[in-house]
Amino acid sequence: MKKYTRSMGTALACFLVVIALNFFLPRMLPGNPIAYLTGFAEEDMTPRQYEYYRSALHLDESLPAQFMYYLQSLLDGSLGYSYKKEAVVSELIFDRLGNTLQITLPAVLLSAALGLVWGLSCGFHKNGLADRASTSLLIVLNALPTFLIALVLVIVFGFKARWLPYAGLNSAGVPAGGAEYVLDRLRHLVLPVASLALAALPSRYLMMRNMAAQAADEKYVLYARARGLPPGLIERGYILRNIAQPFVTMAGMSVSTCVGGSLVIENVFSINGMGTLLSDAVYTLDYPLMQGILFVTTLIMVISIVAADIICVLIDPRVRWGERV
Amino acid sequence: MNRGRYLPLAAGLALLSLFALAALAPGLFTGYGQKEMFQAWLAPSQEHWLGTNSLGYDIFTELVYGTRETLLIGVSSSVLTMLLGAAAGVLSTVRGVWGWLSNALINVFALLPRLVTLIVLAGFLGSSALNLIVLISAFSWVGTARDVRARVIHLNSMPFIENCVIQGYSRAHIAAHHILPNLYDLLLSRFLLGVNSCIMMESTLSFLGFGDLYHPTWGSMINFAYNRGAFIRQAYNYLLTPGVCIMLLSLSFYLISLYFERRRDTIEEV
């Protein structure tokens, strides 16, 4: 139990690091913080504008007071104000967050499930033909950058075969609501989710495969075999139960990697998600928006780690029984 | 078996030396200059193996000249990653404030969403090649540090280190003369695999348009191709060949590391 609270503590510490980074970065870098916090060049501002921004951003107050204002903006959920887009940062992000999660969550679940089943069976039958073939295949896949997988899928299934749409999340002209809209959305989601899942699959597969291969050499597996238990039972009832926990932890930690991957995927498929918002923010030098996105991504990461730890506690019989006894 | 052992090493080294040659002497591979202009969007032909791009540059030439930048960023950030990781890993096993602090740092950095943080920091700091190298390694050392930490803790409990302590050697002497040499194989494999992940990171950043425009790498090439309508013109060779090169380069490093991994396993079995 102690192990899990500690990893939650680390997640929280990481969260604080990001908050501190967000706060100090514009104030510590060479150059005027006003330029960083508004995104406008100092020379383009009239003195009145300059004074206005200076007091609106509380830059005329002491550093601790500024930090309090920053924390306040995080707590009330506004995350600051984007002067470039003239909108509250959190509204901009939450408009897009749904689209990003629609790609990320199915991809995370799909790649985890596939990696679990495939890796387990290959690790259990290690050095067999299937194991060698699929391990080398996934090692090659591992060497492919995410965007290349996406591009290949677009070219093969979108351009050549014309089976699936490859841009946006909805076709023009399909009215919102109704079964047709949902089907259309699902068709649009196939390629992005598939590319992200394929990009995330190798690391999960390889981890699962190596752990299963290691566990297959353990004495308890030998004993189970000697008792004549069926291989399927040994695989699921003995090996899986022993290596499930590190796998869940790893899957939880890699959600943030998948969010990173979805930034790339969104750019390839021109989906209006956080990724396109982030590249937009970087191109237009919209610093408050960049910071807000970093904050929200970290938040997603912390949530997924905590969720993974809760699952670990739930599936850990030692914890369950330890509490009962 | 004995001959098969050297197969991955040979294949990896052959591939790698091809890329290294392209990086050192690009003139050997292509007769065209880097900025030599031809007609735009030529299809692949005898004169232009991969055709020409939107500005009329020969794509194969662009690819060859991009090798140097890609390798440079990949290898140098991996070296930096390895040094940072080794230092943090060894430091985190020391008792006291420093050990605690660097251990906490390792745990925190392991969780940070790498790509998003990198993009945001590149946005703030600007993305010159040097900045990219420093940023990428600043967010990649955690894996190395964790492995080093685990190995050092393991080593510290071994009799020969105990013996050194009893003999009265200082901690610094033991670390430098007895622990570091034992980290050699681990650091080597982390370095080789680190080049892969650094190249991957760099190409992703460049693909998104946050790379160094003055030193175009393969990632930036794909970004150009993508933004300048290689899709619509069906110039798939322009889009995909840099990616295939990234894959081959990654595989070459992987194959080399595979050899060392197997050799270590053999040594441990004996």
Tell me if B146 sits within 8 A of B106, measured CB to CB. yes
Write the pLDDT tens digit of every residue in B227-257: 887 777 777 888 888 889 999 999 999 899 8
pLDDT band at B3 (very low <50, low <70, confident <90, very high): low
Minimal Cα–Cα distance from A298 to chain B, Å?
Answer: 7
Write the pLDDT tens digit of every residue in A54-63: 777 777 777 7
At A194 the pLDDT is 93
**Residues pairing with B58 in the sheet:** B52
Give chain B positions within 8 Å (CB) of A291: 120
Q: Which residue of A has its CA nearest to B127?
A: A282
At A161 the pLDDT is 77
| Model ipTM value | 0.84
How many degrees, rounded to 5, is the angle at CA A198 between CA B245 and CA A277? Answer: 85
pTM of the complete model: 0.85
pLDDT band at A196 (very low <50, low <70, confident <90, very high): very high
Tell me if A42 sits within 8 A of A50, measured CB to CB. yes
pLDDT band at A4 (very low <50, low <70, confident <90, very high): low
At A201 the pLDDT is 93
Minimal Cα–Cα distance from B167 to chain A, Å?
Answer: 37
Structure tokens at B2: 């004995």
Write the pLDDT tens digit of every residue in B27-77: 777 777 777 777 777 777 777 777 777 777 888 888 888 898 889 999 999
Whether residue A144 lies within 8 A of chain B, CB to CB, comes out as yes
Give chain B positions within 8 Å (CB) of A285: 123
pLDDT band at B145 (very low <50, low <70, confident <90, very high): very high
Place of tokens 């090996």: A239
Average pLDDT over residues B200-221: 85
At B249 the pLDDT is 92
Average pLDDT over residues B99-126: 84
**B190 pLDDT exceeds 60?**
yes
**Mean residue pLDDT across chain B:** 85
Among residues 5-34 of chain A, which lie with CB inside 8 Å of chain B? Answer: 10-11, 13-14, 17-18, 21, 25-26, 29
Tell me if A204 sits within 8 A of A251, measured CB to CB. yes
At A325 the pLDDT is 44
Q: How far is B217 from A273, CA to CA, in rounded Å?
A: 27
Whether residue A303 lies within 8 A of chain B, CB to CB, comes out as no
More confident residue, A3 or B105: B105
A7-28 residues labelled b (16+ CB within 10 A) or e (exposed): beebbeebbebbbebbbebbee
Average pLDDT over residues A114-140: 90
A229-265 residues labelled b (16+ CB within 10 A) or e (exposed): eeeeebbeebbbeebbbebbbbbbbbbbbbbbbbbbb
- Integer CA distances (angstroms), A113 to A190, A199, A238, A309, B201, in order: 17, 14, 18, 18, 26
- To the nearest whole percent, how much of chain A has pLDDT over 90? 13
Q: Which residue of B has its CA nearest to A301?
A: B113
The identity of residue B183, as a single letter, is L
Give chain A positions within 8 Å (CB) of B115: 257, 260-261, 263-264
Nearest to A264 among B208, B236, B247 (CB): B208
Write the pLDDT tens digit of every residue in A210-236: 999 988 888 998 999 899 899 888 888
**B270 pLDDT exceeds 60?**
no
Average pLDDT over residues B185-213: 87
Average pLDDT over residues A174-185: 78
Q: Which of B90, B75, B104 is nearest to B197 (CA)?
A: B75
Structure tokens at B103: 């251990």
Q: Please answer yes or no on whether B113 and A144 come within 8 Å at the CB atom.
A: no
Q: Which of A57, A51, A46, A55 is nearest to A81 (CA)?
A: A57
At A323 the pLDDT is 59
**Mean residue pLDDT across chain A:** 83
At B137 the pLDDT is 92
Q: How far is B59 from B53, CA to CA, in rounded Å?
A: 6
**B134 pLDDT exceeds 50?**
yes
Q: What is the 3-state secondary structure (H, E, C) of chain A?
A: CHHHHHHHHHHHHHHHHHHHHHHHHHHHCCCCHHHHHHCCCHHHCCHHHHHHHHHHCCCCCCHHHHHHHHHHHHHCCCCCEECCCCEEHHHHHHHHHHHHHHHHHHHHHHHHHHHHHHHHHHHHCCCCHHHHHHHHHHHHHHCCCHHHHHHHHHHHHHHHCCCCCCCCCCCCCCCCCCHHHHHHHHHHHHHHHHHHHHHHHHHHHHHHHHHHHHHCCCHHHHHHHHCCCCHHHHHHHHHHHHHHHHHHHHHHHCHHHHHHHHHHHHHHCCCCCHHHHHHHHHHCCCHHHHHHHHHHHHHHHHHHHHHHHHHHHHHCHHHHHHHHC
Minimal Cα–Cα distance from A282 to chain B, Å?
Answer: 6
- Integer CA distances (angstroms), A186 to A129, A175, A193, A217, B30, in order: 36, 15, 10, 43, 46
Give chain A positions within 8 Å (CB) of B108: 10, 13-14, 17
Average pLDDT over residues A289-313: 85
Whether residue A100 lies within 8 A of chain B, CB to CB, comes out as no
Q: Which of B138, B105, B110, B142 is nearest to B122 (CA)?
A: B138
- To the nearest whole percent, how much of chain A has pLDDT over 70? 94
B230-259 residues labelled b (16+ CB within 10 A) or e (exposed): bbebebbbbbbbbbebbbebbbbbbbbbbb
At A16 the pLDDT is 85
Q: How far is A317 from A194, CA to CA, in rounded Å?
A: 34
The identity of residue A122, as a single letter, is C
Residue B68: CB partners within 8 Å, gap ≥ 6? B22, B23, B24, B26
Interface test with B, best of A22, A24, A147 (most B CBs within 10 A): A147
How many degrees, rounded to 5, is the angle at CA B218 between CA B212 and CA B222? Answer: 95
At B269 the pLDDT is 64
Tell me if A83 sits within 8 A of A40, measured CB to CB. yes
Structural domains in chain A, sorted by start: 2-89 (no CATH), 92-320 (1.10.3720.10)
Whether residue A251 lies within 8 A of chain B, CB to CB, comes out as no
Structure tokens at A301: 């990461």
**B126 pLDDT exceeds 70?**
yes
Tell me if A79 sits within 8 A of A93, measured CB to CB. yes
- Integer CA distances (angstroms), B15 to B4, B12, B115, B250, B251, in order: 17, 5, 28, 10, 9
Q: Which stretch of A162-171, A282-291, B118-127 has the lowest confidence by average pLDDT? A: A162-171
**B181 pLDDT exceeds 50?**
yes
More confident residue, A3 or B28: B28
Q: Which stretch of A5-9, A49-53, A150-154, B162-166 has the lowest confidence by average pLDDT? A: A5-9
Interface test with A, best of B92, B111, B146, B269 (most A CBs within 10 A): B111
Q: Which of B181, B195, B180, B189 is nearest to B261 (CA)?
A: B189
Minimal Cα–Cα distance from B115 to chain A, Å?
Answer: 5
Q: Please answer yes or no on whether B113 and A259 come within 8 Å at the CB atom.
A: yes
Nearest to A305 among B111, B204, B231 (CB): B111
At B2 the pLDDT is 59
Q: Please answer yes or no on whether B123 and A285 come within 8 Å at the CB atom.
A: yes
**A270 pLDDT exceeds 90?**
no
